[in-house]
Amino acid sequence: MNREYQQQLVKGIAVMVLIFTVAISLPIIGFFISLLIPLTILYYRAVLGHSGGLLLLVGTGLIMLFVLGGPTVDLLFFTELMLMGLVMAELIRRNFTVETVVLGASGAALASGFMGLLVYAGLSGSSLGEMISGYVLKNLTETVKLYEEVGIPQETLHRIAGSLDQIAEVMVLMLPAMAAGSALCVAWATLLMARPLFRSGRIEYPSFGRLNRWKPPEQLVWGVIGCGAALLIPDRTIKVWALNGLIVLMTIYFFGGIAIVSFFFEKKRFPLFVRGLLYGIIVLQQFILLAVVGLGFFDIWLDFRRRITRNGDET
């Protein structure tokens, strides 16, 4: 192990520990900062190689285990993200398609998270359902406190506080879809951010093609139809799973829709600052976000990119 290799490994661990520290210290901003973990692992896996990537993951995990004083749900979440980056790096190195990379990395993170929760619940002496419900309720309570600090009207706070149990129940029921959708979003965002990062570091990056040309598989339409039909069945369990399925499918169609938006921005040559501002509005405004999902869904029949290109040629 030469000196430059050691320096890169130490630098990588330092960056990871810094991300963890910020994520733990800042409740909301820290969550978004933690989403850089897969990207960091992916980058340093490319720099350090397979063994270096494993050393980075293990070294960072041990340091955080010591800092946190033992296994915690936060550490489990961070480990999922690190594993996602490592699996993504291995799949990219083997030249898999973009769909396989995203699904494989997301699946590995979800599977490891589920197994970790089972073990953690067993060690804490509670059931998995009780532990998840308690964790969700605890975070909702902390969110209400945060709202109080930023000056949300008391009437609104009382209304939210009085409905915490119901909100927690709905969130637990939707947790499979929320977890799957979040994992897919993090994996996709990591791929988008990795390209310019690898180029700046002069590191080889696979050619997935232009991701703003990507389309969801046509067969997914039947999944939407099936889940929609299942919602009409008067059985609570079936309705819950159908709604979970729809949420995951909407996430995939969002990728298709945002690719169309990116294609439009590219064709119209929007400045980077304006693009960033508009992407932020899409994420924050629910109705616009749903419209983007609709773009991805109806693109199968309407082929929006062809229409954008044709209109651009006419002008």
pLDDT tens digit sequence for 106-130: 999 888 888 887 877 777 777 777 7
| Residue among 175, 179, 177, 185 nearest 247 (CA) | 177
Cβ 16 vs Cβ 40: under 8 Å = yes
Residue-level pLDDT at 315: 45
Do 21 and 76 touch, CB atoms closer than 8 A?
no
Residues in CB range of 66: below 8 A, 6 or more apart: none
Give the lowest-confidence range in 5-19, 40-54, 203-217, 270-284: 203-217
Q: What's the pLDDT at 211?
A: 77
pLDDT at position 128 is: 72
pLDDT, tens only, 216-269: 888 889 999 999 899 888 888 888 899 999 999 999 999 999 999 888 888 888
pLDDT score of 309 more than 90? no
Q: How far is CA 28 from the centre of its chain?
A: 15
Question: Of 93, 108, 100, 99, which is closest to residue 47 (Cα–Cα)?
Answer: 93
pTM for this one?
0.82
Q: Is the pLDDT of residue 70 over 60?
A: yes
Query: If DSSP states are collapsed to H, E and C, what string results for 184-209?
Result: HHHHHHHHHHHHHHHHHCCCCCCCCC
**pLDDT mean over 174-192:** 88
What pLDDT is recorded for position 249? 93
Q: What band does 312 get if pLDDT is binned at 50, 70 and 90?
A: low
**Cα distance between residue 169 and residue 289, in whole Å:** 25
Q: How confident is the model at residue 149 (pLDDT cuts 50, 70, 90)?
A: low
- What mean pLDDT is reported for the chain? 82
- Average of pLDDT values for 185-203? 84
Report whether 104 contacts 91 (CB < 8 A). Answer: yes
* Whether the Cβ atoms of residue 247 and residue 178 lie closer than 8 Å to each other: yes
Task: Please enumerate, as own/partner, the contacts of 304-308 that have beta carbons within 8 Å and a separation of 24 or more.
Answer: 304/260, 305/213, 305/260, 305/263, 308/260, 308/263, 308/264, 308/267
Determine the distance from the C-alpha atom of residue 15 to the mean position of all C-alpha atoms in its chain, rounded to a whole number.
20
Judged against a pLDDT cut of 80, whether residue 57 lies above it is answered with yes
So where are the chain's domains? Answer: 1-204, 212-315
Q: What is the pLDDT of residue 28?
A: 66
Provide mean pLDDT across the span 45-69.
82
Q: Would you state the pLDDT for residue 226?
A: 92
Give the whole-angstrom CA distance, residue 78 versus residue 125: 22
Q: Could you tell me if 89 and 46 are in contact, meaning their C-beta atoms sit under 8 angstroms apart?
A: yes
What pLDDT shows up at residue 27? 64
Instruction: Give the whole-number percent of the chain exceeding pLDDT 90.
Output: 9
The per-residue b/e assignment along 238-277, b for 16 or more CB within 10 angstroms, e otherwise, is: ebbbbebbbbbbbbbbbbbbbbbbbbbbeeeeeeeeeeee
Distance separating alpha carbons of residues 117 and 297, to the nearest angstrom: 34
DSSP 235: -
Structural Rg of the chain based on CA atoms: 21
The pLDDT of residue 223 = 92
Contacts of residues 69-72 at CB distance under 8 Å and 24 or more positions apart, as own/partner, are 71/120, 71/123
